[in-house]
A and B are shown apart, each in its own frame.
Chain A
């Protein structure tokens, strides 16, 4: 399998649940990203990992917790979310942090009820 794979594709969770989003890339890239995509808003960068080290955290609420156990895998742990957190969460990777040519996964459509 090639590219960036995200699971699950769809997730419905209650406000008191704990869930995790998973991202896997098979491209040998060293940088991975989490983006939030909401309707009528630009993509919002949430987290950046370069060589498994978090290098950017864009004022994201603590109810979102990223984890990068190795350069191929990225997780986003979710707990006590709010309805406004409903969105499409996209994972992306690039060769290096400043490579810019991102490869995106298909995203996880999250609905918080």
Chain B
């Protein structure tokens, strides 16, 4: 069975600081991996996805993620956080016709 673990429920960073959100997955084959962002009162928006190829994936809003097969990880990064990045972030793993989401990491950005 596929699963996703986001070990950090809540993270606080200062504006301008770097950010890394952790995601670990369990899947029997090469997974499809995703990061979504949800602003308050909104649905989820796709930030980036990994299907195959280059393990460093660039997404929207200046985010990137790196697929590390040996660590079963797909961590999300941003070099400099903006106040508008405050939101909840969801990692997801996709297998054949099924997508499993993590419980999310809520990001707080302080001035």
Contact = CB atoms under 8 A, between A and B. Distances in A.
A45 B92 CA distance: 13
Contacts, number: 46
Given A97-B97, A101-B49, A41 B103 contact: yes
A1 interface: no
A92 B99 CA distance: 12
B108 interface: no
Which range holds the interface residue count of chain B? 20 to 34
A4 interface: yes
Contacts of A104: 36, 43-45
Contact of B94 (A6, A41, A100): A100
Interface in A53-100: 55-56, 90, 92, 97-98, 100
B43 A90 contact: yes
Which range holds the interface residue count of chain A? 20 to 34
B73 to A, nearest CB: 18
Contacts of A56: 97
A103 B100 contact: no
Interface string B12-49: 00000000000000000000101010000111111001
Interface of B: 4, 9, 32, 34, 36, 41-46, 49, 90, 94, 96-103
Interface of A: 4, 6, 40-43, 45, 55-56, 90, 92, 97-98, 100-107
